[in-house]
Amino acid sequence: MHRLFGRLWAAFLFGMLLCIPTHASAEDGYQLWLRYQPLSAAQRAHIPDSILTLGADTPMKGAARAELQRALDGLTGKAPASIDKARLDTIVLARGADLPAGLDAASAVREQLRKLGDEGYLVRRAKLDGVAVTLVAANTDAGLLYGSFAWLRQLQLGTRADQIALASSPTLPLRVLNHWDNLDRTVERGYAGESIWNWWELPHIIDPRYTDYARANASLGINGTVLNNVNSKAEVLGAPFIAKAAAIADVLRPYGIRVFLSVRWSTPLEMKQTKTADPLDPEVAAWWKNKADEIYRTIPDFGGFLVKANSEGQPGPQDYRRNHADGANMLARAVAPHKGIVMWRAFVYASPEESKAGKEHDRAVEGYDQFIPLDGKFDDNVLVQVKNGAIDFQPREPAHPMFGAMPKTPLIMEFQITKEYLGFATHLAYLGPMFQETLEFDTRIGGRKLTVADTIQGKQGRVGGIAGVANIGSSRNWSGSIFDQANWYMYGRMAWDQGLDSRVIAREWTAQTFSPDARVVDPVVNLMMRSREAVVDYMTPLGLNHVMGSSHHHGPAPWVDNLERADWNPIYYHRAGRDGIGFDRTAKGSNAVAQYAPEVARRFADPKTTPPELLLWFHRLPWDYKMPSGRTLWEELVARYDHGVAEAAAMQAEWQRMKPFVDAQRFTDTAQRLAQQHVEAQWWRDASIAYFQDVSGLPLPAGVRKPAHSLDHYKSIRFPYAPGI
């Protein structure tokens, strides 16, 4: 009897254990936000179990159908059937032109679709021949693909299938990733392993990873990818590499993604096929036209060229006393017959010497100075690609003054998804607030509100786009860390709609990547939303910038002053001394403020109206300058460093509380990275304070912990094998 009771009790306990929620099974991050984990019985009850595709079948429709089959199999545990006639619980994919007569309110659907353009989609409940169905409708196959992914996103977020109603279209026609991948598979500023493009094996060996890359991008609406580094090599335009690019294009095409190539300006000269690279030389123009024709014969939907010219030692039209418009237009005319485009980067800086006007040199003004006089001189298929700020992807910069200042020229925004200056893949820094901060920046061009997002959306009469420097590599989790996936996801969602809130996007990513459980989503999103500001505080508070280590850009080095160019040295940017700190960009200094619209310039010209987070970007001030907090500038600077370190510690502690809800592999990996981030935040804080205390001669504020080591110790640290160089 006792033995029987014991067995029953053991069985009861075992059953109870099965009912207790435990953390997820081990995952390595490969599935990204497309995990398609099983839903509850209540949610599964409303999900269609069959797929009906109307109209002629195409590779893109096939990709949409395959994704629905994969997802519904995972979400419900049952693979949906493909059928040829609607029945209950069917999801119907149909272009507007293929909507059947038996669809209720077909005219209303067509009217909505007319407003959604070539890539928009409509998802709604409907009746087809009297049968209730879920309709995904669009004007093109691309819209059907995007609509299918959008519907699946809502299912993963916990929305009941019968309550999903969506209508969306992208605000920008061009949404691209820029891979800074080299032909030897190294990745410049890449922190997730080698390039995903295995150039050695291509074109004959196709890694299945390429398809998963395409799926992930299509789920976000990304429709273009530049395969290679902007610091390009001439070989990329040789026949062998064009064939390799064509093989990748074949994989990406069914997912609506066109391939682009970065090209080196002097390619025909380096190939010894022309005597010059002068853009006005007919022989050079003919070479590029023939090369474009050759590429399009191999890749019919080739997107075009991305060009870095006359910047950081790269050749360009200025080598021949031509301007950027001369160079861009020559290339644009080569691809124009094929409806290709040229993205011409505005990241340029030349002489670090004092200007002839007597104003001190300021690298921040050069892009504006070189490109603004060329407004209206670029061909229609040229997009000038402008970084979010005027220096170089710093943890915080004011929006580039070129946005809004070239009304006759299409501009394309360039963000950096890979965290070159924000702790690589080691530090958790969700960049959504940073991207949103730039897109919402009010340029006040013409005296009225005009955000940066407005200027790239064509609201001045021209159409632009958006580009993100990719953080993708061969690491199993794609981006080097789980949380760096969030920046890829966020970029794609903001590329589709610049009005999306970064917190909403963080919630989407968290729910799909970990769990829609509020016990996970709420604390993880709060951690993400505070992360970028924490990094700014322990690295570059109050508008400091470009104070990182040389070449590798890892760690603090505000003392560096021995590099080849003056404007490569951190001291060029912070100018700290006994009398103060900061770069004077007012009329008394470089007058960079004058590049902004008058209303914006007036705000930045006065330290009292300059936002504290940009103070030292625009002003050089004495250490005892009174801050809005009541502290002196020196006290405020130290307090910001301390706050950044405290936030790094708080994020680490917050993540520990997620242990019951996150699988062991991803939990442990993130915990290790947060621990290292805390250590490196302290290093940034201590080294920076040690240096600025030394140059200012000031004592530490009362109660402040002194740096752990001497300034000489921090100066002695070396990183000869840092990644991403």
Q: What residues act catalytically?
A: 312, 392, 420
165 by Cβ neighbours in 10 Å (0-12 / 13-18 / 19+) ranks as exposed
Task: Mention every residue, 6+ apart, whose C-beta is less than 8 A from residue 26.
Answer: 663, 664, 665
Amino acid code (one letter) for 172: L
Q: Identify the residue whose tokens are 């064009």.
A: 242
The closest of 68, 64, 45 to 163, measured between CA atoms, is 45
Q: Is 105 left (phi over 0), alpha (psi -120 to 50) or beta?
A: left
Q: Is 334 left (phi over 0), alpha (psi -120 to 50) or beta?
A: alpha
Task: Mention every residue, 6+ apart, whose C-beta is less than 8 A from residue 211.
Answer: 251
The closest of 519, 557, 485, 503 to 711, measured between CA atoms, is 557
Helix (H) or strand (E) holding 174: strand 174-178
- Other C-beta atoms within 10 Å of 716: how many? 9
Q: Using the 8-state DSSP alphabet, how is residue 66 labeled?
A: H
Tokens found for residue 491: 């970029």
Pairing of strands 131-138, 121-128: antiparallel
Largest CA distance in the chain: 102
Query: What are the two backbone dihedrals, phi and then psi, of residue 208, each rounded to the nearest 5 degrees?
Result: -55, -20
What is the separation of C-alpha 523 from the centre of its chain, rounded to a whole number of angstroms? 23
Amino acid code (one letter) for 575: R
Name the E strands within 72-138. 81-83, 90-95, 121-128, 131-138
Query: What are the two backbone dihedrals, phi and then psi, of residue 313, each rounded to the nearest 5 degrees?
Result: 85, -5
Task: Mention every residue, 6+ apart, whose C-beta is less than 8 A from residue 194.
Answer: 185, 186, 187, 473, 474
CA distance 456 to 409: 10
Beta bridge partners of 82: 51
CA distance 158 to 187: 37
Task: Mention every residue, 6+ apart, whose C-beta is less than 8 A from residue 335.
Answer: 292, 296, 302, 304, 305, 341, 342, 381
Tokens found for residue 286: 């003919």
* Distance between start and end Cα atoms, the chain: 73
Tokens found for residue 512: 């799909």
CA distance 212 to 252: 10
- Helices 502-513 and 484-496, axial angle in degrees (round to 10): 130
**What's the Rg (C-alpha) of the chain?**
27
Amino acid code (one letter) for 145: L
Pairing of strands 341-345, 304-307: parallel
What is the DSSP track for 256-292? T-EEEEEE-TTHHHHTTSSS---TT-HHHHHHHHHHH
